[in-house]
């Protein structure tokens, strides 16, 4: 799977752990940065990853900041992105199975590496349930998105 990953300074350490883990599993991972602990602006990384996923260059995206909240707010501004903050495995599974999330957001100051890797693994292997009720809800999300085009 082709995965885009990005983080601000608060998520850089967890990003590096996740990158190594995914590469060891054979995934094609592109690191959009940051590579430093110097203060950076999370919207820059969220936008870059979200736009690359929305353009179809990557199958999925992963974003990490301090809490995951800033990343999810920014990523969800990009048309076609369904980003979810997941701080435990149940939400990770449901965000894929019910919501077909294409960007996972994590909090580097909230989850440790072990739990984060479990979340990532479950999120990546869970397929979207194409149940009519879930697809109907995604269609409604797309309608809202379309109604608010700029």
Q: What pLDDT digit, counting tens, does each position of 101-145 carry?
A: 999 999 999 999 999 999 999 999 999 998 999 999 999 999 998
Token pair 């894929």: residue: 96
Average pLDDT value over all residues in the chain: 96
Among residues 9, 19, 27, 98, the one annotated as catalytic is 98
| pLDDT value for 150 | 57
With bands split at pLDDT 50, 70 and 90, how would you rate the model's confidence at 10? very high
Using a 10 angstrom Cβ sphere, with 0-12 exposed, 13-18 middle and 19 or more buried, the burial of residue 34 is buried
Domain that holds residue 102: 2-147
The answer to whether residue 98 is catalytic is yes
The answer to whether residue 105 is catalytic is no
How far is it, in rounded angstroms, from Cα 23 to Cα 89?
A: 21
CATH number at residue 69: 3.40.1400.10
Among residues 19, 27, 37, 65, the one annotated as catalytic is 65
| pLDDT value for 130 | 80
pTM listed for this prediction: 0.96
Using a 10 angstrom Cβ sphere, with 0-12 exposed, 13-18 middle and 19 or more buried, the burial of residue 123 is buried
Q: What pLDDT digit, counting tens, does each position of 56-105 carry?
A: 999 999 999 999 999 999 999 999 999 999 999 999 999 999 999 999 99
**In the chain, how many domains are there?**
1
């Amino acid at each position: 799977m082709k995965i885009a990953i990005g983080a601000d300074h608060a998520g850089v350490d967890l990003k590096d752990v996740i990158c190594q883990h995914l590469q060891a599993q054979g995934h094609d991972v592109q690191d959009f940065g940051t590579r430093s602990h110097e203060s950076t602006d999370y919207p820059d990384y969220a936008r870059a990853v979200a736009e690359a996923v929305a353009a179809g260059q990557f199958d999925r995206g992963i974003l990490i900041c301090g809490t995951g909240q800033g990343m999810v707010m920014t990523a969800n501004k990009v048309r076609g992105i369904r980003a979810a903050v997941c701080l435990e495995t149940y939400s990770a599974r449901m965000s894929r199975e019910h919501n077909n999330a294409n960007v996972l957001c994590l909090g580097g100051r909230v989850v440790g590496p072990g739990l984060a890797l479990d979340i990532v693994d479950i999120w990546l292997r869970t397929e979207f349930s194409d149940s009519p009720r879930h697809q109907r809800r995604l269609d409604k999300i797309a309608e809202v998105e379309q109604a608010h085009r700029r």
